[in-house]
């Protein structure tokens, strides 16, 4: 399992070619952008909302998020790797988005804005050792009926060892190791959120987990 410093080194090296290399997984039927679209839809954002993306990388989700919150909304992307954020900045400039903020930080120490409508992480949260801490802190910042959505890879249940190792080999360029199979963010979501659900994707090698904060009844 890589350290944070090693993960930063990996993504610094891959930043400029990240989008191209990620799209190569379409060759084996992994519909990444379709899954990302499902994840953003699961947030149920409305115009004017604030949404935080944990591990925004090069900004592949930004167009979907900006479309969901509109020009009056706010999109905040946080990431551990400076070069990945640099690619995201280029994307923001090309599209002229004025309501997107990028934050160079470790997700484990980030202070989520109070009243946030949604928090999303796609193919990133499992790389964070303190993923449950991130989920717990994020949940506390969500507004009533706010949503936390995680799209990520997982080890398929009862899969033969050779198949698991082959899968890890294919995604090793993205700092994935077999040890990460022991991390189950969806279980942490079940502990800290309500109305949780987990949808299996791509032969049970990926999942889409959704949870909500309780709605308040009456007036404060």
Beta bridge partners of 152: 207
The residues, any chain, with a CB within 8 Å of residue 52's CB and separated by 6 or more, are: 76, 77, 78, 112, 113, 116, 118, 119, 120, 138
Angle of helix 82-95 versus helix 4-14 axis, rounded to 10: 40
From first to last of its 220 residues, the chain has per-residue pLDDT tens of 789 999 999 999 999 999 998 887 776 678 999 999 999 999 999 999 999 999 999 999 999 999 999 999 999 999 999 999 999 999 999 999 999 999 999 999 999 999 999 999 999 999 999 999 999 999 999 999 999 999 999 988 776 676 657 666 777 777 777 778 889 999 999 999 999 999 999 988 899 999 999 986 343 4
pTM as predicted: 0.92
What lies within 8 Å, CB to CB, of 161 at 6+ separation is none
What's domain 4-144+154-206's superfamily in CATH? Answer: Vaccinia Virus protein VP39 (3.40.50.150)
Domain ranges of the chain: 4-144+154-206
């Amino acid at each position: 399992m890589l350290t944070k410093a090693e993960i930063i080194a990996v993504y610094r090296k891959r930043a400029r070619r990240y989008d191209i290399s990620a799209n190569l997984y379409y060759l084996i039927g992994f519909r990444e952008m379709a899954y990302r679209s499902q994840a953003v839809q699961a947030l149920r954002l409305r115009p004017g909302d604030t949404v935080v993306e944990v591990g925004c990388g090069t900004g592949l989700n930004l167009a979907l998020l900006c479309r969901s919150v509109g020009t009056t909304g706010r999109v905040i992307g946080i990431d551990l790797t400076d070069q990945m954020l640099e690619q995201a900045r280029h994307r923001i400039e090309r599209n002229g988005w004025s309501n997107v903020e990028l934050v160079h930080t470790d997700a484990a120490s980030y202070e989520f804005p109070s009243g946030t409508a949604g928090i999303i992480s796609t193919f990133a949260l499992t790389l964070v050792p303190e993923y449950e801490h991130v989920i717990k802190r994020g949940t506390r910042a969500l507004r009533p009926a706010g949503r936390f959505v995680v799209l990520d890879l997982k080890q398929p249940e009862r899969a033969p060892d050779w198949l698991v190792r082959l899968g890890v080999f294919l995604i090793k360029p993205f700092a994935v190791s077999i040890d990460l199979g022991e991390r189950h963010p969806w279980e942490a979501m079940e502990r800290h959120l309500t109305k949780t659900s987990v949808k299996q994707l791509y032969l049970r090698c990926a999942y889409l987990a959704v949870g909500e904060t309780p709605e308040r009844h009456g007036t404060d």
